[in-house]
Amino acid sequence: MSKKETKTNAMRILEKNQISYNVHRYECKEFIDGVTIADMLEEPYEKVFKTLVTLGKNKDYFVFVIPIAQELDLKKAAKAVGEKSIEMIHVKDINKVTGYIRGGCTAIGMKKDYKTVIHETAADLDTIFVSGGKNGIQVELLPQDYLKACKGTLADIIK
């Protein structure tokens, strides 16, 4: 990485925890969906993950990280975090809750340490891609390192 390229909070946290990662940059002026990003990076959809933030019945926030082409199963997700039910937060609340913007949201370095669940297929992959904390940046790292960095657990949370 050249000195001109700024590091995101997520990258600084990975480095502080001595977790190695590769940065993948892509051209991005505004929000781009994960499938388009995977196509731009020429990576299979099952290796690129998106970060979703939900609100539980008890008003606690929960983070779910799933392959980009999949859909979160709200019932399975609620069960994984011990809630009766959860719902997606509104897009306008992403920055307020996480400190990140839509498309640049990652479970690493959010404003608070929310309970985080990653879809179990991540464990079967050699590396995964997640947002680097800013639009235009993806980080590639070992699934177990990602779990460590975001204090996550694995579960079946997709439809």
The helices-and-strands tally (H runs, E runs) of the chain is 5, 8
Strand partners, 86: 56
54/64 Cα distance (integer angstroms):
8
Residue 30: both structure tokens together? 């505004």
Mean pLDDT score of the chain, rounded to an integer? Answer: 92
pLDDT at 101 over 60: yes
For tokens 């790292």, what's the residue? 141
Question: If we measure between CA atoms, which residue out of 119, 117, 125 comes closest to residue 142?
Answer: 125
Domains of the chain and any CATH numbers: 24-155 (3.90.960.10)
Cα 117 from Cα 64, distance rounded (Å) = 5
Q: Name the band, by pLDDT with cuts 50, 70 and 90, for residue 66.
A: very high
Q: What is the pLDDT of residues 103-112, one digit of tens each?
A: 889 999 999 9
3-state secondary structure (DSSP) of residue 45? helix
- The mean per-residue pLDDT over the stretch 125-152 comes to 95
Strands (E), the chain: 22-25, 49-56, 61-67, 86-88, 115-119, 128-131, 137-141, 153-155
Residue 45 C-alpha from the chain's centroid: 14
For the stretch 6-46, pLDDT in tens is 789 999 999 999 999 999 988 877 777 888 899 989 999 99
Residue 118 three-state SS: strand
Hey, is 40 helix, strand or coil?
Answer: helix
